[in-house]
Amino acid sequence: MRSSVPLLLAVAGLANALVLPQQAANCSTFTKSIALSNYNTTVLNSTYYPAGGLNNSGTVNSVAFCEVYSSVSYGTGNDSLIFAIWLPDVLQYESRFMAVGNGGMAGTIDYTNMMTQLNSAYGLAVAGGNAGHLASLNNAGNGAPDTYLPYLHDPAQVSAWIHDAISLFTPAAKAIVSASYGKPATYSYYDGCSTGGAQGFALAQLHPELFDGIVAGSPGNWYSHLALSFLWNGQQTNTTMLSQAVLNFTTNAVMKECDAVDGVKDGLIEDPLRCAFDINTLACQSSYATTSNGSVTCLTPAQISVFKAIYQGPVRSDNGSQLYPGFSLGSENEWLYQEGYLADAFSIPILQNLVYDNLAYNSSNFNWASDVATLDTKAGLCIDEISPDLSAFRNHSGKMIVTQGWSDPLNAATWPIEHLEQIENFFGGDVSNLINLFMVPGGGHCGAAMYYPHVPAEYHTVAALIDWVERGQKPDQILSTNPPDGSDATRKLCAWPGTARYIAGNVDDWNSYVCE
């Protein structure tokens, strides 16, 4: 098949007619014969999809591909991880392998990201797995208080959730690629966000030989303390809820004060750390009512102290040391997620299932000093990916791109900045040949934030990563496109600590900015 490719390229007009039947036949027969026992892996089934043949929630495949499902047994051999690999027809394949990560508690394959990657212009063979457990056996993948989640009681399944989610299937997936195209992929990439961002850090840290380039978005790689931040915010707001109207009022006030700090009034705060907004300025004068005709006009003392606590983030009750960063100016609008929802979905299930193994455990009794060490031992060691020592990945010439929205309502935006500083401290200086962080003004969790529909929400990270890995072009800026409001606005994302400065021209054109 390999030797016929140049000929087929030479007669491009005939290419489809000649290639498709062959590829289709290989999909139904050849893929099942690939020997994967060395990888504890069994091929389950395969299906051929012509272009347009698979519709994944409204997005169809632009290239024909062969889908192969396989099962990897792991742990003591009783556990299994299911993964799918999508092998584009050989003419569309450019010798690149891409693995995608999971979100939240995983247990399902991220077909949405697989489709994005398959449809990209980069000729990727794309694989994605379920992280070694089934959402269907774990409350449909949704954590909830007082609910038994089997995967959190099996140490092998806990390791497979984040530490080894991708590494467990990558060798077998690469073997399928090699067998299908007659040689190994030239380059291997990974893309994941949220839990997938943590899985990206796990790869760099624990499995540095598997990938040449990694994209880690909104990384929850300090997962145990991310869960603490959800619990903290849930507790802070348990008696004093901040309503959507109060949150809107506050973000509007923040925007008014911070928008122009970067020299351009565009409904966007380029760097929230540079704005000196003081929440006290929104305090109600004692003689004023909080609301008049239903609209919020000021904040009560109780509301102000809750805002301060969420901006501050969780701290130890004994000595005040920070346990996770707080939230940034301009992100308030979507804090409803923090008002119990995320504590119920992640913190309480992790405490009850993984840390205390007691579904009756009452999280209100979490001791914000003495219980932190218990959390670190019982959860942190199994699910955190925070070692700054990425030297093995650096020795492998690995490259990593991290993105983080300033208005992410789940992950406190400055955590990736702190972690980058930890990595810089470990290596004793600049690490931009290894890892670059792109903060996204008005960005949310793995994409758009509700308050910022005018902000481009598609980050061209994979394009930048390929340029970096394959052509040595270090990314100091990344294009973003496709805002939810449907405009054709583009923006320039800058490698931190750079930020985009407006020069001249259309404020909605990324060429009007420079990174500095």
223 vs 438, which CB is nearer to ligand NAG?
223
- Contact characters 205-234, ligand NAG, x per CB under 6 A: --------------------------x--x
337 binds ligand NAG (CB under 6 A): no
CB 233 within 8 A of CB 338: yes
Residue tagged 């455990």 (tokens) = 361
Beta bridge partners of 191: 100, 215
| DSSP helix/strand/coil, 183 | coil
1 binds ligand NAG (CB under 6 A): yes
Candidates 186, 280, 281, 297; binder of ligand NAG (CB under 6 A) is 297
CB 156 within 8 A of CB 131: no
- Min separation Cβ 511 and ligand NAG, Å: 28
CB 68 within 8 A of CB 31: yes
- Contact characters 275-294, ligand NAG, x per CB under 6 A: -----------------xx-
Candidates 28, 45, 370, 425; binder of ligand NAG (CB under 6 A) is 45
362 binds ligand NAG (CB under 6 A): yes
Q: What are phi and psi of 313, to 5 degrees?
A: 85, 170
Candidates 111, 451, 468, 510; binder of ligand NAG (CB under 6 A) is 451
d(CA 477, CA 498): 9
d(CA 291, CA 338): 23
Radius of gyration of the chain (CA): 24
Residue tagged 């959390």 (tokens) = 375
359 binds ligand NAG (CB under 6 A): no
By C-alpha distance, which of 495, 494, 483 is closest to 458? 483
70 binds ligand NAG (CB under 6 A): no
d(CA 177, CA 351): 40
Alpha carbon dihedral 407, 410, 415, 416, in 10-degree steps, equals -80
Residue tagged 């590829």 (tokens) = 23
397 binds ligand NAG (CB under 6 A): no
5 binds ligand NAG (CB under 6 A): no
- Min separation Cβ 338 and ligand NAG, Å: 9
28 binds ligand NAG (CB under 6 A): no
- Min separation Cβ 213 and ligand NAG, Å: 18
Q: Which residues bind ligand NAG (CB under 6 A)?
A: 1, 22, 25-26, 30, 39-40, 44-45, 47, 55, 57-58, 60, 69, 76-78, 82, 182, 231, 234-235, 238, 244-245, 248, 292-293, 295, 297, 316, 319, 321, 333, 340, 343, 362-365, 391-392, 395, 450-451
